[in-house]
Amino acid sequence: MNLLLIGVNHRTAALEDREALALRDDEARALLTRLVAPGLLQEALVLSTCNRIEFYAVADSPADAETHIRKAVLALRDRDLLANEDQRYLLTGNDVARHLFRVACGLDSMVLGDVQILGQVKEAYTLARESGSAGVVLDRLFETALRAGKRARRETAIGTGTVSMASAAVESAEVELGSLRDRDVLIVGAGETARLAARHAAQRRPRRLVVANRHLDRAAQLAASVGGVATSLEDVPTLLSSIDVVFSATRAPAPLLFAQTVRRAMEVRPERRLLMIDLAVPRDIDPEAALIPGVTLRAVDSIQVVVGHGLEQRAAQVPTVERIVDDECGRFDLWWQGLGATPVVVALREHFERIRLEELQRLRTASDVERERADRLTRSLINRLLHVPTLRLKTDAASDAGHRRLAAVEELFALSQGARPHDA
């Protein structure tokens, strides 16, 4: 088996290309079902955020797996969105683990130490498990990634200041407008990014904070938590005429705010500036809105990441976080090497178990108490006898010496021949 990662991120692909590839949860589920196929991909997982779209896979042939993933994306989007070799990156083996662990620790984010990415990694893993596309390897890989991310936040100050794209957007808005105090702020959406944007905006004491969402109950819940008011998406066109800054972060598949809607709002407020910050991928706001006089539109890639308090402290933590990544990579590598020994270890234990059960059959005339005692003793004996050999077989199983040890055990106990105990 081989680990494979193919993807794009904010460093390799433009926003237009990432939003074309971005997947909603229902699309990701459908794609995962298509990806797992006998002889091609044993396991698959997709991580889709505003900064990255990455496909993780376990396959016999990385080349065949890459082709299979690209064909699946082509079938879904009618475009080979992974064709551009200058935009995509392709990793295999240990490089996949190291990349993912750095992502989970916030080292590969647009905002160093981004607190949201760990939750996004967990959501992607949960979705793959629910879809049945994550198996033994991806389970271990992502459980280790989540542990690495938690360690980074617990053992270092990489998350100082509760940094995220949402907090960076709010800081950027303050730079643009001078202050959000006594401003009218609109939050479009009620998911995690919108929640963070609302919380950080509320701390700046705006004059009015409005939360608009497709589901009014979710808008009301978020608005209540930040001292704002809730409204529906249908009210947004009217609201725009009295709003100073918009933070939009939904998971809609197409724009919610069209240039014509923004233009009509600006006609009744020609002297009042409107700042619109679009944190969604795909985008919520029509890019043409940027051409309207008085409107400043910032998409996720053009947000000014402000050097706010704590950035120097976070940057100083990077070497320590990298050591956590190294540590977790070492643990995963040991597990991965031992994985190759699993069939032999299982066969060896089954061989000894067959012998044990046959010997217990000799106690037909013994009492139930004696048989139970014999069963416990023989189980304990076999576990103790096989403990060290099992560790030795799993240690460095992928090396030449490891292969020789595995072959010797198979030969000594005739494991590959399916020998019965009395044959041994």
Q: With 0-12 CB in 10 A as exposed, 13-18 as middle and 19+ as buried, what is 388? A: exposed
What residue type is 245 in one-letter code? V
Residue 322 belongs to some domain of the structure: yes
Q: What is the pLDDT of residues 284-298, one digit of tens each?
A: 999 999 999 999 999
Give 91-133 pLDDT, tens digit per residue.
999 999 999 999 999 999 998 999 899 999 999 999 999 999 9
**43 and 20, same structural domain?**
yes
Query: In total, how many domains does the chain have?
Result: 3
Asked, for residue 307, whether it belongs to a domain, the answer is no
The confidence score (pLDDT) of residue 302 equals: 86
- Say if residue 25's pLDDT is above 80: yes
Question: Quick one: what percent of the chain has pLDDT higher than 90?
Answer: 71
If asked whether residues 218 and 284 sit together in one domain, one would say yes
Instruction: Specify whether the CB–CB gap between 214 and 222 falls below 8 A.
Output: no
Q: Mean pLDDT throughout 354-380? A: 88
Tell me, yes or no, whether 134 and 205 share the same domain. Answer: no
Looking at residue 398, its pLDDT comes to: 63
Q: From the CB of residue 110, how many other CB atoms can be counted at a distance below 10 Å?
A: 19
Mean pLDDT computed over 338-354: 80
pLDDT at 118: 96
Range of the domain at 143: 2-161+316-334
251-280, pLDDT tens digit by residue? 999 999 999 999 999 999 989 999 999 999
- Is 133 found in the same domain as 196? no
* 112 and 9 together in one domain: yes
Quick one: which of 222, 227, 220, 173 has its CA closest to 205?
227
pLDDT at 420 over 70: no
Tens of pLDDT, residue by residue over 162-207, are 688 999 999 999 999 999 999 999 999 999 999 999 999 999 999 9
Q: Are residues 188 and 275 in the same domain?
A: yes
What pLDDT shows up at residue 204?
96
The answer to whether residues 63 and 135 belong to one domain is yes
| pLDDT surpassing 50 at residue 139 | yes
Mean pLDDT of the chain: 91
- What CATH number is given to the structural domain containing 74? 3.30.460.30
Which positions are catalytic?
A: 50
For residues 20 and 127, membership in a common domain is answered with yes
Assigned domain for 383 exists: yes
CATH number at residue 225: 3.40.50.720
